Chain A
Amino acid sequence: MQLVLEKRSERSGTIALVSPLIAIGLTIVTMVILFAILGKNPLLALHAYFIAPLTDGYSLQEIAVKATPLVMIAIGLSLCYLANAWNIGAEGQFLIGAVAGSWIAVKTQGTDAGAWVLPAMLVLAAAAGALYALIPAICKVKFGASEILTSLMLVYVADLFLDYLVRGPWRDPHGFNFPITAEFDPVATVPLLIEGGRLHLGSIIALLVVAAAAILLGRTIKGFEIRVVGAAPRAARFGGFNANQLIILTFAVSGALAGLAGIIEVAGPVGHLQPGISPGYGFTAIIVAFLGRLNPLGILIAGLFLALTFIGGEQAQIAMKIPLDVTKVFQGILLFYVLACDSLILYRFKLVFPNRKVVARGAG
């Protein structure tokens, strides 16, 4: 007796809908076991992770704040992955966007620069992120170099570049030698939506990005081309779609969105440039993209869910001394289960009895 995979004659719509839920369920079961191994009460830990952050207004705002970069980056990544272009360097594009936007903030600091500062920062950050993402895309299209490896390598380069800036030329002279820039001026800061709260304009931009992506993928020829090139490259060639052009396009868009997310994070919740502005948003966004089934609305929900795990992880650390790395383990396991469950959309399990099969064949 043997358990084997068998291709379904058509993709299962039911499983496509419920698979993220099955994946989350399986992850929670795994986490209960992990909490027990760590010697923590699993029920209390789950409460701290998933329920407690939903019960007060501050945490709810904080979830939206954390979800903002995740959703923006993941929308861009989903376009790449749909077109079968593997941008895994969003973390680097996020950092470069943050750096480029901060340049304006740092240079206009203390001057009487007007309201143009923030819009200029956003535009420059998006442009820088797009340009940075174009490096691996062009290396791929022109020279055939693996975009996976080059985009990832550039994450380390961006990280070191940011480190250099805040320790060197951009360091706040009154910052007690800490590697941070001075706090940005009010004109260089993303405005808050609620006075004294945490929610900022970036969340609105993220929602607009989701809507734009939904229209692009659902209503335009370009969106159709992206999906065909990824799903059926041969058909796309016959259709005259230019796969290379789409790699360039999707990388540029995802780089721009990651860069925009970077500057919004720096000019919003953080307020200045420093190392460690991202707890791995660029990588977590990969999980968000897959958990959201590469679908804009799905990504919005998945982004909020993963933001919940960030906030829950912080609260569980404070309340129960559960290490922060548990959140990363949780996110990694979740991605595994999502991918595994997705496999069941195209395949099903089948029990095979090798001996009987031989008999049946002999009888036939």
Chain B
Amino acid sequence: MELVEAIILAVLAASTPLLIAATGELVAERSGVLNLGVEGMMIVGAACGFAGAWLTGSILIGALFGIVAGTLMSLVFALMALGLAVNQVATGLALTILGVGLSGLIGAGFVGERITPAVPLAIPGLTNVPLIGRVLFGENGFVYFSIALIVAVWWFLYRTRAGLILRACGDNHVSAHALGYPVLRIRTLAVMFGGACAGLAGAYLPLAYTPFFIPGMTAGRGWIALALVVFSSWRPARLVIGAYLFGAVTILQLHAQGWGVGIPSQFMSALPYLATVIVLVLLSRARTGGSTAPAALGTVFVPDR
């Protein structure tokens, strides 16, 4: 029983950064912008988040540092891809390359330092309930926030007028523009939201997952988050399922390594990446009837006046 509980806790912990980053990217993509720089924004968020927490001793301020850093990075992307109408794929790649360098530069002084990680919630009585107690009432704030975030995004996209307009921009920017909606401004806000989420997801890693910063610690999670958005068919509910499934794969391979299964650890570590490829193939194949992607995703829009 305790093992089951431990595994569920570990899966939640591994899934949370994927869920947060993918939620942000989902909103950006729903507005029609493909920002491939998630990995870059995450890694800068990780470095800045750790720096903030180490300097102030506060996990909350660290998380805010991460959010601000991710947002600033996304503004660079918005300036290029939306302001200057540059190819979004190339700009996203540039953002990741820049982010990896910047995070190394920012984090260099903090390698080897440790902080006290985010403390899990503890409600006497409830948290002690066997099996579900710690899973439901013993998580750290990031986990609860990630769930609140995806619910809020679902509500925003499908239950508010603003969400409808945002989706309209993503499906047909010419029509949205003709109706008088400021397409580029809406997209900029969506990209900034994506950046804030990626920054927070990055900051989660040194603040709650491991209490230290190492260069390259995002290890492709930003790219997996991008794949998750495809996996979800751009729908929030499926995104949650996808993120937890991926967290489960990550934890499964870690445990398998620990149990000493006769497979080299490198092969187990490769599992999440291989799973991403396989899932992308299976899903794309199942979806031959027509794409569920926002119709204007990744296309350049320059309003004519």
Is B123 positioned at the interface, with any CB of A under 8 Å from its CB? no
| A148 and B36 contact, CB distance less than 8 A | yes
| A139 and B97 contact, CB distance less than 8 A | no
Stretch at the interface among A108-116, A261-269, A282-290: A282-290
Tell me the bound Cα distance from A161 to B276 in angstroms. Answer: 17
| Minimal Cβ-Cβ distance residue in A for B94 | A335
Interface residues of A in 104-148 (CB under 8 A from B): 135, 139, 142-146, 148
0 or 1 for each of A312-354: is its CB under 8 Å from B? (1 = yes): 0000000000011111111111011001101100110000100
Is B284 positioned at the interface, with any CB of A under 8 Å from its CB? yes
| Minimal Cβ-Cβ distance residue in B for A343 | B84
**Main SS of the interface on chain B?**
helix
What B residues does A144 contact at CB under 8 A?
Answer: 284-285, 287-288
| B277 and A150 contact, CB distance less than 8 A | yes
| A95 CB to nearest chain B CB (Å) | 13
Is A58 positioned at the interface, with any CB of B under 8 Å from its CB? no
Residue with the greatest number of chain A CB neighbours at <10 A, chosen from B89, B219, B282, B284: B284
A88-B93 contact, Cβ under 8 Å, with A149-B276, A153-B274, A323-B108: yes
Question: Could you say which of A149, A160, A343 contacts B86, with CB atoms under 8 Å apart?
Answer: A343
What A residues does B86 contact at CB under 8 A?
Answer: 339-340, 342-343
0 or 1 for each of B85-98: is its CB under 8 Å from A? (1 = yes): 11101110111011
Tell me the bound Cα distance from A155 to B287 in angstroms. Answer: 26
Tell me the bound Cα distance from A347 to B85 in angstroms. Answer: 9
Is B128 positioned at the interface, with any CB of A under 8 Å from its CB? no
| B84 and A328 contact, CB distance less than 8 A | no
A5-B84 contact, Cβ under 8 Å, with A144-B287, A286-B93, A290-B90: yes
Is B205 positioned at the interface, with any CB of A under 8 Å from its CB? no
Is A29 positioned at the interface, with any CB of B under 8 Å from its CB? no
| Minimal Cβ-Cβ distance residue in B for A340 | B84
Stretch at the interface among B113-121, B171-179, B261-269: B261-269
A336-B98 contact, Cβ under 8 Å, with A153-B276, A163-B266: yes
Question: Could you say which of B280, B285, B288 contacts A149, with CB atoms under 8 Å apart?
Answer: B280
| B257 CB to nearest chain A CB (Å) | 12
Tell me the bound Cα distance from A204 to B11 in angstroms. Answer: 51
Is A157 positioned at the interface, with any CB of B under 8 Å from its CB? yes
Question: Could you say which of A160, A163, A284, A329 contacts B98, with CB atoms under 8 Å apart?
Answer: A329
| A86 and B266 contact, CB distance less than 8 A | no
Question: Could you say which of A4, A135, A326 contacts B105, with CB atoms under 8 Å apart?
Answer: A326
Question: Could you say which of B99, B226, B273 contacts A154, with CB atoms under 8 Å apart?
Answer: B273
Binding site for A on B (CB under 8 A): 36, 76, 80, 83-87, 89-91, 93-95, 97-102, 104-105, 108, 215, 219-220, 223-224, 226-227, 230, 264, 266-267, 269-270, 273-274, 276-277, 280-285, 287-288, 302-305
Binding site for B on A (CB under 8 A): 4-7, 86, 88, 135, 139, 142-146, 148-150, 152-154, 156-157, 160-161, 163-164, 167-168, 283-284, 286-287, 290, 323-333, 335-336, 339-340, 342-343, 346-347, 352, 357
- 18 cross-chain CB contacts under 8 A: A4-B305, A5-B83, A7-B304, A86-B89, A143-B285, A144-B284, A152-B223, A153-B277, A154-B277, A157-B273, A164-B264, A167-B266, A283-B93, A323-B108, A329-B105, A335-B90, A336-B76, A339-B94
5 new A-B contacts at CB < 8 Å, known A5-B84, A148-B89 = A143-B281, A143-B284, A145-B281, A149-B230, A286-B97
In the A-B complex, the 9 residue pairs with the closest CB atoms: A332-B98, A328-B101, A325-B104, A329-B101, A164-B266, A335-B94, A145-B280, A160-B266, A144-B284
